[in-house]
Amino acid sequence: MFVNYQRQIILPEIGLAGQQKLQQSRVLFVGAGGLACPALLYLAACGIGTIGIIDFDSIEPSNLHRQILYGQNDIGKLKAIVAKDKLQTLHPNCHVNAYTSMLQNSNALTICQEYNLIIDASDNIETRYIIETACLQLKLPWVFAAIHKFEAQISVFNYGNTKTQYTDIFPKNIDNQAVLNCAETGVLGVLPGIVGSLQANEALKIILQLGNVLSGTLLCYNALTNAFYSIKTQNNSPQ
């Protein structure tokens, strides 16, 4: 079955041992929208063994310009179920679990503890606080991204020596209702495609222990200017 992954196995940095790490990995996606669609496709395609998808939402026509796992015939269906079916058709080697509930403090630990890595593909700050609390307790790394019109923020939390948290950057006193989401502001369709792919890349580097992970760094991306602006988020004091 590893023939599908031959082009990455021949990379000395990955090899058979790396492929086995991918196969043994269990990655949970919180949200199955714009950021999740490309990241799900890439992680399922590259041989991640188990993927979980938690999303309670149904597919709407206004999702289709950026949520590229879904098409016209999927409107009205649950995103988690459609995503699971499509991924398993495309990549039967990948086992997919769908959860059609909302991630809440009451279920976060039970669901997250089944996974090694969490991808935050949610669309609200409240959910990020829930992910952070669960990941802190379970000692899990999580790959964060959020988008606004033509811009994005990406980082990795609770990972490596720095163990920076989302609330180190944006403390819990933020009024979630005051921060506008895609439905209110609009968003360029390709933006979550680019940013979700960056999240998939961070997830792979964490699993394969390769390169530099965006832990301790908040990366800001602007699709209009192609500018990346990097901010160190860890404390400068000695660890």
Partner 1 sequence: MNVSNPIQIKLVAFGVLQEIIGAPSIFISCDPNLESCKENLIKQYPALAKQAIQYAINHQLASENIALTNGSEIALLPPFSGG
Give contact residues for partner 1 (rule: CB under 8 A).
31, 33-36, 120-125, 145-149, 151-153, 168-170, 173-176, 178-182, 185, 187, 192, 218, 220, 225, 229-233, 236
Residue whose CB is less far from partner 1, 37 or 134: 37
Q: Give the burial class of 80: count Cβ atoms within 10 A of its Cβ; 0-12 exposed, 13-18 middle, 19 or more buried.
A: buried
Contacts of 163 (CB under 8 A, 6+ apart): 157, 215
The minimum distance between CB 213 and partner 1, in angstroms, equals 17
Residue whose CB is less far from partner 1, 14 or 182: 182
The minimum distance between CB 135 and partner 1, in angstroms, equals 17
Tokens of 87: 């991924």
Residue whose CB is less far from partner 1, 34 or 47: 34
Residue whose CB is less far from partner 1, 137 or 225: 225
CA neighbours within 13 Å on the CB side: how many for 198?
A: 23
In whole angstroms, give the CA distance from residue 28 to residue 134: 12
Neighbours of 53 (CB within 10 A): 26
In whole angstroms, give the CA distance from residue 136 to residue 132: 6
The minimum distance between CB 215 and partner 1, in angstroms, equals 14
Contacts of 119 (CB under 8 A, 6+ apart): 27, 28, 29, 30, 35, 36, 39, 142, 143, 199, 200, 203
Three-class secondary structure assignment of 198-221: HHHHHHHHHHHCCCCCCECEEEEE
Sign of the C-alpha dihedral computed for residues 161, 166, 170 and 171 taken in this order: negative
The minimum distance between CB 17 and partner 1, in angstroms, equals 33
Residue whose CB is less far from partner 1, 93 or 150: 150
The minimum distance between CB 59 and partner 1, in angstroms, equals 15
CA neighbours within 13 Å on the CB side: how many for 219?
A: 20
The minimum distance between CB 168 and partner 1, in angstroms, equals 7
Residue whose CB is less far from partner 1, 55 or 74: 55
In whole angstroms, give the CA distance from residue 4 to residue 46: 8
Residue whose CB is less far from partner 1, 77 or 148: 148
The minimum distance between CB 226 and partner 1, in angstroms, equals 13
